[in-house]
Structure 1
Amino acid sequence: MITKIRKRDGREIYFAPEKITRAIFLAASKVAEDEGQVADYATAEQLTDQVVNYLNRHYQDEIPNVEEIQDAVVKILIECGHAKTSEAYILYRAERTRIRNMKSRLMQSIKEITFSDSKDADVKRENANIDGNTAMGTMLQYGSAVSREFCKANLMTPKFAKLHDDGDIHIHDMDFMNMGTLTCCQIPLDKLLKGGFSTGHGHLREPQSITSYAALAAIAIQSNQNDQHGGQSIPAFDYYLAEGVAKTFRRSYIDNVNKALEVLVSLDTDVKEKIEAIEQETGARPSLHMDEKFVQKLNAMLKEEYGLDDGQVQLVDAFAYKEASKETEKLTYQAMEGFVHNLNTMHSRAGAQVPFSSINFGTDTSPEGRMVSEKLMLAQEAGLGNGETPIFPILIFKVKEGINYNPGDPNYDLFKLACRVSAKRLFPNFEFLDAPFNLQYYEEGKPETEVATMGCRTRVMGNVNGPEIATGRGNNSFTSINLVRIGIKHGQVMLGEPDIDGFYAELDEKIDIVIEQLLERLAIQAKKKVKNFPFLMGQGVWLGSEELEWEDTLEEVVKQGTLTMGFIGLAECLKALIGEHHGESEYAQKMGLEIVGHMRQRMDEATEKYHLNFSLIATPAEGLSGRFTRIDKKIFGELEGITDREYYTNSFHIPVYYHIRAFDKIRLEGPYHALTNGGHISYVEVDGDPSNNLEAFEAIVRCMKENNIGYGSINHPVDRDPCCGYSGVIEGHICPKCGRDDSKSEYKFEKIRRITGYLVGTVDRFNNAKKAEESDRVKHA
């Protein structure tokens, strides 16, 4: 007689046949329910007796394990004519296994988060913007680990969870799925600032100075971050804050007219009401570009009311304008400095990280807008309090012919400044509005039609459900395909000859699954209510949400966002499929464009079929590149040029380790930007300090523009000695400013590097895959 069984962990416990009876009865009940009948517990007991007899016959001298007992149950059920109950039992058994594995994974994750230092645990360095060693960082990681497992077990279709776990696809930000959050948003800051807004803890009045405008801009980004799992962007920062500069100048101008009058006529007076009357009459106000009618009326008033002669009037005009300009310029710089400092210090998401923030600017040609752009870049150039390079916001300079690209353009000086600041501080990045796929939306004088992007490359413009604008819209969610695995399975690396038809057949199968999964996630998001996102929806940030009430669901407004499929490792995919990547031959480049073009076509077809904004994104690699590689290496082994590194190459990029001229890299990657309408970036890696050769730096930016790059940046080392404050390139271990050897000190040099468009901080905060990718980068000539 069997008296004991062996558990999966090796423990031996007493054999309890009633547990078998209960499992059989539950399976039979499921079958009976489907057929409109009632299960019989006595039958379950009889079947249990037969299972026990079978076990006693076959395990007389040994102790059976759990799996062997379950196999015996299946055998007896089938032999006794209970095939449907057997199927239900197998499904029950699989579900129990899934839940058990989930608990095991969760406990392992929590154990690693709890007891490991971030320098030793990749899981604590998945997001370089989170310090995994802090209490709040740890708490956020606990929540993410629990939420991911809950979503896989209770929210998503099991096949999606399995494909994610197996590494066929990657469902980004899965830990936020149950909350129904959207990924990111281009914040219409002008809409928020007009009349003020509420953060949920009180209403903020409409700002009246550039200082307040900048402060509220930072607060808006922080508040919106708490309602979303991705980044926040302001699409036309210079246009939005120009009004703050104008208000500051006006107030200062009036104050300085009063000061001049006090000196000239010894009269303590206030001309504000008189100037307001002139404003109402002329429809103009004091500004950096003074209106001639306003000046004439003001001068006439000064003569009539205060008896000033022509010389005194000119003196008042010149003094007030000069002093107001000087004060406005000073306050605008301080406001931009405060804005940059705020976004590097203010916390979001329960204090675990600073907001992921991006700022698009550079096309407002008004004096006020130009001042915003200039002072923002100068604040970036100056750095933080100790000269550190700011990690946020991501500055994105919008390049446009006729506005800032050529000598003679009104903002050409700002383009030159953008190159200078980027050469020192890695930002701004550059968005090229003349690329055909960007230019098609552009309408002169309408900043909402200018393509704006996120630091992580998210691009939102096309819209089948509303206006084709950037403002008030963002990406709902995105899921990436492991292109490399499909290439390996159908490529010459495994078959000797590539099976192109088989490759596309499986790619289409995975695309179908991603579309289905994105729709499933959208259904969760659509059922959420305005009250679930009190700032994003409650303050009317998201397009169309201002029409909704607190208890309304979001079915209609979420259609303004994008449903996005991503991909990673095109280079390794091609290497596996045909033996070379797109940097090595024209044939590989042609094949690469066909593959990415096919994925884009499928997204366009889904847009038409479902009347939703499906798009294709060149996935930001982050930790995903290492995750896919680890899984594939276990399955296929180490394949040269494919799985022999710790990462897959970012999206459609030429591999970072491949030696190629910068201009050639740009030329080859340019055509992929037109295909990836959900977002993209190209960057080149240069050696040394590009501040010493700004002509070469600008030549690279111009090469990007001429090759229809949509969004680009130039990477270069930014090192800092925390002791003396030197910022630049530090070769080896010796500081060029103070001569300190950091190898002999606990205070190490800070090595600031960029990954995927975001500058995510010092190298020691990167996970292993990102560290490996960064160290493999060759410098492009």
Structure 2
Amino acid sequence: MISAKSVKPEVMVVKRNGIEERFNINKLVKSLMNAGLDYDKVNLVIEKICNNIYNGISTKELKNLVYKALKEIDKDVADNYKYENCLKVRTSEKQFEPFNKQKIVDALIKETGADVEIAKKIADEVEKIVKKLEIKYLTAPMIREIVNAKLIEHGLEELRHKHTRLGIPIYDITKLIKSGSRENANLMHNPESIHKWVADETMKQYALMKIFPRYIADAHMRGDIHLHDLEYAAVRPVCLQHDLRPFFKYGLRVDGTGLHTSVSKPAKHPEVAIQHAAKVMMAAQTNMSGGQSIDEFNIWLAPYVRGLSYEKIKQLMQMFVYELNQMYVARGGQVIFSSINLELEVPEFLKDKEAVVAGTTRGTYEEYEEEAKMIVHALVDVMLEGDATGKPFLFPNTIFKLRENAFEDEELMIKIHQLCAKFGTPYFINMLPDWQVNNTNAMGCRTRLSGDWTGDAEVDTLRTGNMQWYTINLPRIAYEAKGDDDRLFEILRERLELVKEALLIKHKVTMERLYEDGVMPFLTQKFDGEEYYRYDHTTKTFGFVGLNEMLKYHLGEELHTSKDALKFGERVIRYMREYADDLKEKTGLRWSVTQTPAESTAGRFARLDMKYYREEAKTVVNGDLSDIDSLYYSNSSHVRVDAPITLGEKLRIEERFHPICNGGHIMHLWNIESAADPEVLMSITKKITKTNIGFWAYTKNLSVCEKCRMAMGGLRDKCINCGNENIAKFSRITGYLQNVSNFNKAKQQEVKDRRIVKIFED
């Protein structure tokens, strides 16, 4: 029973417009019931209100009294009462609050720099629209969309651009949850990767709308150029080549500060040194977007294994390999994209350097050549065995440097080529050509550092890396040039200018993240007063895709069919290199040219060119024209993967470009199954070291039965042991081995097209 005993006589309430009206207890009861208050609690609220009400109270004060009384009983009912008779907004903080047009005014001024009058005008018009909507509540994104529509209506496109909201449609998130993405074959479909893909899409949008100016973003969207790693453009550089000595001397802080994680003293025991080597790459991948690599891996570890048996060293290498293949912690739920550069002899530039071990030094590295070789022997033995099911270890990428005395240890070289023949995992750096210098290393797929930047091999090749590479669509330049050589080089220069500006923007942004915002503390931690990451020595790199198709359209000939085409192709890439070298002189930054890995870019460019230049592109593109997702361009300056040529011809063509591409290069020998004899492969390696090929790999396709786990050479559809048709197929996608089912459709088509070159001339 509702009581009004406590209501004071003649209590008047002052409304917003100043008019007074008598307090109406029945009206209050109705509001309480509408808000969802239980009937048996209504009297309790009424008593509280009547004890505090006074003559001349305003409606606002009365509502506050009621809200406070309700909040003590039921917060949800209190909120329902508070927002009764007003349009409610569900905010990004997952709360409801009344619609307030002043928030629109404030947001426009703060986010876009709009002047007050324009902001108020837009807010007034939005208020009129939302008040006409027959809905229970608005959302903050919905209001933002209406505001943006009004900004466009008034011709305020720049303000709209700054005010827009980034995100991903519900449909697209559902699709990622159900099917995943194949943009990066190293990413498995799991909860972590789903979160990464959703976050990536938002950060890509941010980069295109905030980091890069419209004309650069549009050039990327059209496919004139490709801005790689857009999801990381605002926050990370790409590849890093590690030096283990600072950690072996001073200890390990995986967060860079030691404030958030435990701090390790310098490793005293080899097992701890191995763990620290793996953790260095694990820690750095939180700061970098690309490959983590350790140069001189076996040299740094050699002092730690002195006096150990070969069996113990092999166990240590097994520990390291399993660490890198089972630390499922990298970006989006993947193993670390890791590489190690290995020496078959102590290089000249390290021979007299103090050997660091357990926080001190013990002699020089020249004294540990035998231990360094034992590490390589042991590591290759571990890689040859494969994992517990017989599969190859996909990481780390093992990169062998071939210097003057490489073939003196024939046993080791045979063993390395047995690994090539069995799994196709090794890579080789040819250190013998005249254009190579004291040290060269590779990170990830092929990005390269060389000791010819300052002339100091350590400064040029250790604790630094590739800041970023961006890629030019070469076939499109040919389509636009319409056969005119001069016009072709004019357009090429325009594209180079675009990429240069994009790289300079990324350079500035990365500097801000490193030194102003401090978001990469692992990289900026100091040893002996010097920051670990030598950012000043990172490369800013021009990439390219589709030289072969450019030549095919522009000249009617391909790299392997015409000496004139090869000569013209060399002229194109040399033009890029000269442009980069000129920038070095002008800016003091380290510019280079690379053969882009193009895991997704080769297909993306082909698809976009079929959209915008269909008549031109269909005459040169590779793949099935009836399936646009299968189309692709040849990678960088490589010959077409199904070109009917011998190994000698392939070498003579592709070696022309390796000295020019100082930021990274590779030659692939695909599908070596039929020639996978260690002796044959070693004879090929000897021949290659006499050429200008700087970096190469033998790709052995492999199939593993998912039932009996039998490993078989080649890409098979059926197990030769048990007949099972569920087969995991492995091949090299660009610069690393991975399950073919994870490849995008363009790369899957390329795998089908790849052919083995003839090892011997006819």
**Please, which of 734, 739, 751 is the counterpart of residue 762 of structure 1?**
739
C-alpha spacing 1:774/1:765, structure 2 compared with 1 (3 Å): same
C-alpha spacing 1:467/1:400, structure 2 compared with 1 (3 Å): closer
- Please say if residues 610 and 618 of structure 2, whose CA atoms lie closer than 8 Å, have aligned partners that are also in contact: no
Gap regions ≥5 residues in structure 1: 1-18, 46-69, 75-85, 119-123, 250-326, 443-449, 492-497
C-alpha spacing 1:536/1:548, structure 2 compared with 1 (3 Å): closer
**Please, which of 163, 169, 173 is the counterpart of residue 110 of structure 1?**
173
Residue-by-residue CA offset, 1:604-638 (whole Å, 9 max, x unaligned) = 01111101001001100101111111111111226
Q: CA deviation at 1:128?
A: 1.1
Name the structure where helix makes up a greater proportion of residues.
1
Does residue 666 in structure 1 map to residue 728 in structure 2? no
C-alpha spacing 1:465/1:430, structure 2 compared with 1 (3 Å): closer
Q: Which amino acid aligns with 2:467?
A: N
SS in 2 for 1:564: strand
Q: TM-score, normalised by structure 2?
A: 0.73
- Matches for 1:294-333 after TM superposition, within 5 Å: 328-333=309-314
C-alpha spacing 1:656/1:577, structure 2 compared with 1 (3 Å): same
SS in 2 for 1:436: coil
- Matches for 1:448-459 after TM superposition, within 5 Å: 450-459=439-448
Q: CA deviation at 1:140?
A: 0.8
Identity of aligned residues (%): 28
Q: CA deviation at 1:719?
A: 1.8
Runs of 4+ in structure 1 deviating by more than 6 angstroms, as ranges, are 30-33, 38-45, 70-74, 97-100
**Please, which of 557, 570, 582 is the counterpart of residue 605 of structure 1?**
582
- Please say if residues 207 and 244 of structure 1, whose CA atoms lie closer than 8 Å, have aligned partners that are also in contact: no
Separation in 1 of the partners of 2:542 and 2:524? 25
Residue-by-residue CA offset, 1:619-668 (whole Å, 9 max, x unaligned) = 00101111111111111226445235211111110011221112211211
Q: Residue in 1 aligned with 2:391?
A: 388
- Please say if residues 671 and 754 of structure 2, whose CA atoms lie closer than 8 Å, have aligned partners that are also in contact: no
Q: Residue in 2 aligned with 1:240?
A: 300
- Please say if residues 219 and 225 of structure 2, whose CA atoms lie closer than 8 Å, have aligned partners that are also in contact: yes
**Please, which of 708, 714, 717 is the counterpart of residue 724 of structure 1?**
708
- Please say if residues 131 and 137 of structure 1, whose CA atoms lie closer than 8 Å, have aligned partners that are also in contact: yes
Residue-by-residue CA offset, 1:564-585 (whole Å, 9 max, x unaligned) = 1100011111111111111111
Structure 1, 232-241 or 207-216: larger mean CA deviation: 207-216
- Matches for 1:374-453 after TM superposition, within 5 Å: 374-401=377-404, 403-405=405-407, 409=408, 411-438=409-436, 441-442=437-438, 450-453=439-442
Q: CA deviation at 1:426?
A: 1.1
Separation in 2 of the partners of 1:32 and 1:220? 47
Q: Residue in 2 aligned with 1:190?
A: 245
Q: Which amino acid aligns with 1:526?
A: M
Q: CA deviation at 1:695?
A: 2.6
Residue-by-residue CA offset, 1:705-760 (whole Å, 9 max, x unaligned) = 22211100111222222333322315744433x2x1223xxxx222110022211x
Does residue 488 in structure 1 map to residue 482 in structure 2? no
SS in 2 for 1:113: helix
Separation in 1 of the partners of 2:162 and 2:552? 35
- Please say if residues 683 and 712 of structure 1, whose CA atoms lie closer than 8 Å, have aligned partners that are also in contact: yes
**Please, which of 496, 499, 503 is the counterpart of residue 518 of structure 1?**
503
- Please say if residues 229 and 289 of structure 2, whose CA atoms lie closer than 8 Å, have aligned partners that are also in contact: yes
Separation in 1 of the partners of 2:574 and 2:654? 13
Separation in 1 of the partners of 2:216 and 2:535? 22
Separation in 1 of the partners of 2:401 and 2:151? 67
Q: Which amino acid aligns with 2:411?
A: D
SS in 2 for 1:204: coil
Q: Residue in 2 aligned with 1:626?
A: 603
Does residue 127 in structure 1 map to residue 184 in structure 2? yes
C-alpha spacing 1:573/1:198, structure 2 compared with 1 (3 Å): same
Q: Residue in 1 aligned with 2:571?
A: 594
Q: CA deviation at 1:104?
A: 8.0
Q: Residue in 2 aligned with 1:164?
A: 220
Separation in 1 of the partners of 2:489 and 2:176? 40
- Please say if residues 658 and 694 of structure 2, whose CA atoms lie closer than 8 Å, have aligned partners that are also in contact: yes
Q: How many residue pairs were aligned?
A: 595
Q: Residue in 2 aligned with 1:478?
A: 469
Residue-by-residue CA offset, 1:99-150 (whole Å, 9 max, x unaligned) = 77x8586666434323x414xxxxx111111113x11110111111111111
- Please say if residues 673 and 713 of structure 2, whose CA atoms lie closer than 8 Å, have aligned partners that are also in contact: yes
Separation in 2 of the partners of 1:466 and 1:153? 40
- Please say if residues 168 and 481 of structure 1, whose CA atoms lie closer than 8 Å, have aligned partners that are also in contact: yes
Separation in 2 of the partners of 1:71 and 1:227? 38
Q: Residue in 2 aligned with 1:265?
A: none
C-alpha spacing 1:95/1:244, structure 2 compared with 1 (3 Å): same
CA RMSD, Structure 1 to Structure 2 (Å): 3.3
- Matches for 1:570-581 after TM superposition, within 5 Å: 570-581=547-558
Q: Residue in 1 aligned with 2:157?
A: 93
- Please say if residues 430 and 712 of structure 1, whose CA atoms lie closer than 8 Å, have aligned partners that are also in contact: yes
- Please say if residues 396 and 427 of structure 1, whose CA atoms lie closer than 8 Å, have aligned partners that are also in contact: no
Q: TM-score, normalised by structure 1?
A: 0.71
SS in 1 for 2:187: coil
- Please say if residues 445 and 734 of structure 2, whose CA atoms lie closer than 8 Å, have aligned partners that are also in contact: yes
Gap regions ≥5 residues in structure 2: 1-100, 124-147, 256-260, 347-368, 624-630
Separation in 2 of the partners of 1:539 and 1:183? 20
Separation in 2 of the partners of 1:349 and 1:393? 14
